[in-house]
Chain A
Amino acid sequence: MTLGNLDERREAITEIRSAVAALCAGYGEDYWRRLDADKGYPTEFVTEMTEAGFLTALIPEGYGGSGLGLFEACAILEEISRRGAHAGACHAQMYVMGSVLRHGSDEQKQAYLPKIARGELRLQSFGVTEPTTGTDTTSLKTMARRDGDVYRINGQKVWISRVEHSDLMVLLARTTPREDCKKKTEGLSAFIVDLRHAKGNGLTIQPIDAMINHHACELFFDDLQVPAENLLGEEGKGFRVILDGMNAERILIASECIGDARYFLDKATAYAREREVFGRPIGANQGIQFPLAKCYAEMEAAALMVERAALLFDAKVSCGAEANMAKMLAAEASWKAGDAAMQTHGGFAFSREYNIERKFRETRLYQIAPISTNLILSYIAEHVLELPRSF
C-alpha cells in the first residue's frame, strides 16, 4: 500500500476515526464499566474491531492486512480511547505481530500472519517482565535449554497481559547464561509459544488481582517444551527482536494516552458547561477553566510529538528519542487531564457511573508500563544528552 502524501493520509485518518467512533458507539461506557467490575474481557468488541480490519491495519497487504503505517494505527487507538473504550484490551493484537514480521522466517510469517489478519489467530501476548528483575530486562532468569527438537523452558514471568485471551505469545528467555555472554544483551532468545498447547503442559497461568482490568497474569514455566522451529530470529539475538518492537509500542501507547486525554477533556468540559452551583455553570469559574485549558495545551503538544514520532517511524528514520518522549509526554498529559476531569466532576467523579474514575485508573498505567518514566528520562539523559551512564 502506498500511504500517499501527508494530506492524503490526514484525509484517510479522518475517515478512519469516524468509522472507529461509529464502531465504538455500539459499546457504550456501561459496557466497559461492567467489564471492569466483572474483570471481563471485551471479546465481542475485539472480534468486531478485528473483522472491521482495524486491528490488522499494520499487517502488510501480502499477508491479508491493510499495510498501513503507525500514523494510521495511532489514529485507530486514539479514537478507541477517546470513545471511552479500553484500548489496552486489544492494542497488542496490532503490534506484537511486528516481531514475527520483522524477525520471523518465511514459514513463520506464512503460518501466522494471514491467520492473524483473518482474525483466526490471536497474538496479543508478550512475555518479558519477571518478578525479580523488572526493568533490568537483560538480567531475566527464565531459561530455555535446547534439547533435540525442542527448547525446555523453566522460570517465571509477571504482569503478562491478555495471556488468557491470546493463542500465541512472544516470549523472551535466556538461552545462554548471562555470565557466559560477552555482552548482557546477548544470549537472550525470543520464542513463539502456542498457549493453547502450553497451558497445563508446563505452563501455569495465575491472574493477578490488579487495579485495572488489563488481564495481566503471572506465568510459571515448569519444563515447558517449545518446538525448536518456534525460535523467533536467531538464537542468542532475541533482545534485538524485542527491542525492535519497542518504538512502535511506545508510539501506539502514546496515541492511546492522547485519546484518554481527549476523553477526559470532552467529559470535563461537557460537565463544566452543564453543572450549575452558585447559580451558574461551574465552567464559568476560572478555577475550573484554567486547569482544563492547561491540560488541553499540554495534550496538543504531546500529540504533536506522537505524530512526529509516528511519521519518522513510518519513514523508517530512527525515532528512539521521539518515541520515548512521545510516550512520556502523552502519558503525563493524559494523567493530568484525568486529574482535572476528576476535580471538575467534584464528588461525582467518585461515582463509578460517571466512568471518569475507571479511565483515571486505566491511564495511570502508562507512566509505568510498558516502560516507566524514569527509564525514559534516563534514555534521554544518556542517549540524547550524552550524560554519563547511571547503570
Chain B
Amino acid sequence: MKVLVPIKRVIDANVKVRVKADESGVELTNVKMAMNPFCEIAVEEAVRLKEAGTASEVIVVSAGIAQSQETLRTGLAMGADRAILIQTDVPLEPLAVAKLLKAVADKEEPGLLLLGKQAIDGDNNQTAQMISALLGWSQATFASKVAIDGDKLNVTREVDGGLENINLNMPAVVSVDLRLNEPRYASLPNIMKAKKKPLESLTPEDLGVDVTPRVETVKVCEPPARKAGVKVASVAELVDKLKNEAKVI
C-alpha cells in the first residue's frame, strides 16, 4: 500500500510573525521556514507504517513555490521514499490544493492519504475534508491513533467530547492531530541520502488544475492588542459585571 503525505512549508513555529508594512501579507523575507508541525506528524506516522511493513511506499507531495523542495527534502530525510513538487507561485487556497492533491492521488492510487489537520499559517483546517469529498473516499479527521487492519482502518479521533473510535474503508483520507506521535528528527546519514532520493517536479497545468485564487486579500493586519482585564473579588461581582457592565448575560 502506498501512503501519500501532503506537506506544507510554513513559517517556523518559533518565529514571531510580523505583518508587512504595506499590509499585503506577512513578512517572509529572511524568515526561517519549516515543515508545518502537523505535517511532520503525518510524515512520521507514514514512515512508521512503512517500518512496520504495512505501507510499501511513502510519497511526500507539496504544492507551492520552488523552495518547498527544501520541505520535501526534510520529508525524505525523515524516511519518505520519494517526493512530488507541484510548483506554482500562485498563492494557493485550500480548494486549489485539494484539487491538485486529487489529481496526484488519481495518478498514484495510494491506499491512504495522511495529512496534517491544519497548517499553522492559515489554520484553515479544510484541505483534508475537501480532498475526501473530491475523491469520494472515507475520511477521519483529528486522528490521535491510526491502526490498519487489512483493508479497514481504525482511527481514534480527538473530538470535543473526548475520543471517538471509527472504522473506515480504504482508501481513506486521515488528518492527524497533535498527539498521534512525536515526529523524529532526521539523522545525518538520512539527510545525506535524501539528497539522492527522487523528487519529481510538476505544475498545476501538468495536472490540469486551475488554481486561480477565488478570494481576494484586501488587507492583513495585526489583531488589536488586548486590553488589561479586571479582577473581581467574588462570583457575585463577576455575575453582576457580566450582567450590568458587559451586558452579555
Q: Are B77 and A19 in contact (CB under 8 A)?
A: yes
Q: Are B186 and A19 in contact (CB under 8 A)?
A: yes
Q: Are A16 and B185 in contact (CB under 8 A)?
A: no
How many residue pairs, one in A and one in B, have C-beta atoms under 8 Å apart?
A: 46
Q: Give the residues in chain B near A20, CB-CB below 8 Å.
A: 185
A22 within 8 A of B: yes
Task: Given A11-B73, A53-B187, check contact A18 B192 (CB 8 Å).
Answer: no
Q: Give the residues in chain B near A57, CB-CB below 8 Å.
A: 188
B191 within 8 A of A: yes
Q: Are A15 and B185 in contact (CB under 8 A)?
A: no
B70 within 8 A of A: yes
Q: Are B70 and A11 in contact (CB under 8 A)?
A: yes
Within 8 A of B (CB), among A1-60: 1, 4, 8, 11-12, 14-16, 18-20, 22-23, 51-54, 56-57
SS of B interface (majority) = helix
Contact with A along B184-224 (1 / 0, CB 8 A): 01111101101100000000000000000000000000000
Give B62 Cβ to nearest chain A Cβ, in Å.
15
C-alpha gap A14/B189 in the complex (Å) = 15
Give A27 Cβ to nearest chain B Cβ, in Å.
13
Give B39 Cβ to nearest chain A Cβ, in Å.
14
Q: Are A19 and B191 in contact (CB under 8 A)?
A: yes
Q: Are A18 and B34 in contact (CB under 8 A)?
A: yes
Which of A1, A15, A23, A56 is B70 in contact with, Cβ under 8 Å?
A15
Q: Are B74 and A16 in contact (CB under 8 A)?
A: no
Give A20 Cβ to nearest chain B Cβ, in Å.
8
Task: Given A1-B192, A66-B192, check contact A15 B73 (CB 8 Å).
Answer: yes
Q: Are B187 and A19 in contact (CB under 8 A)?
A: yes
Within 8 A of A (CB), among B81-130: none
Interface centre among B73, B185, B188, B191 (most CB of A within 10 A): B188
Q: Give the residues in chain B near A15, CB-CB below 8 Å.
A: 70, 73-74, 77, 186, 191, 194
SS of A interface (majority) = helix
Q: Give the residues in chain A near B70, CB-CB below 8 Å.
A: 11, 14-15
Task: Given A1-B192, A12-B192, A66-B192, check contact A18 B73 (CB 8 Å).
Answer: no
Task: Given A1-B192, A12-B192, A66-B192, check contact A18 B74 (CB 8 Å).
Answer: yes
Q: Are B187 and A52 in contact (CB under 8 A)?
A: yes
Q: Are B195 and A18 in contact (CB under 8 A)?
A: no
Contact with A along B54-93 (1 / 0, CB 8 A): 0000000000000000100110010000000000000000
Interface residues on A, range: 20 to 34
Q: Are A19 and B188 in contact (CB under 8 A)?
A: yes
Q: Are B74 and A66 in contact (CB under 8 A)?
A: no
Task: Given A11-B70, A12-B195, A15-B73, check contact A52 B188 (CB 8 Å).
Answer: yes
Give B217 Cβ to nearest chain A Cβ, in Å.
29
Q: Are B34 and A53 in contact (CB under 8 A)?
A: no
Q: Are B189 and A66 in contact (CB under 8 A)?
A: yes
Contact with A along B161-200 (1 / 0, CB 8 A): 0000000000000000000000001111101101100000
* Chain A, Cβ-Cβ closest to B194: A15
Contact with B along A213-251 (1 / 0, CB 8 A): 000000000000000000000000000000000000000
Within 8 A of B (CB), among A309-359: none
C-alpha gap A12/B190 in the complex (Å) = 11
Q: Give the residues in chain B near A54, CB-CB below 8 Å.
A: 188
* Chain A, Cβ-Cβ closest to B76: A15
Q: Give the residues in chain B near A51, CB-CB below 8 Å.
A: 187
Give B7 Cβ to nearest chain A Cβ, in Å.
14
Q: Give the residues in chain B near A1, CB-CB below 8 Å.
A: 192
Interface centre among A19, A53, A66, A68 (most CB of B within 10 A): A19
Give A367 Cβ to nearest chain B Cβ, in Å.
30
Q: Give the residues in chain A near B34, CB-CB below 8 Å.
A: 18
Q: Give the residues in chain A near B186, CB-CB below 8 Å.
A: 15, 19
* Chain A, Cβ-Cβ closest to B188: A53
Give A260 Cβ to nearest chain B Cβ, in Å.
19
Task: Given A12-B195, A18-B34, check contact A66 B188 (CB 8 Å).
Answer: yes
Q: Give the residues in chain A near B195, CB-CB below 8 Å.
A: 4, 8, 12
Q: Give the residues in chain A near B73, CB-CB below 8 Å.
A: 11, 15
C-alpha gap A190/B185 in the complex (Å) = 38
Q: Which residues of A contact B (CB under 8 A)?
A: 1, 4, 8, 11-12, 14-16, 18-20, 22-23, 51-54, 56-57, 66, 68, 76
| Apart from A15-B73, A19-B191: 16 A-B pairs, beta carbons within 8 A | A12-B192, A15-B70, A15-B74, A15-B77, A15-B186, A15-B191, A15-B194, A16-B188, A18-B34, A18-B185, A19-B185, A22-B185, A52-B188, A53-B188, A57-B188, A66-B189
A sample of 10 cross-chain residue pairs with beta-carbon separation below 8 angstroms, ordered by A number, consists of A11-B70, A14-B70, A15-B186, A18-B74, A19-B77, A19-B187, A23-B185, A52-B185, A56-B188, A66-B192
Q: Which residues of B contact A (CB under 8 A)?
A: 34, 70, 73-74, 77, 185-189, 191-192, 194-195
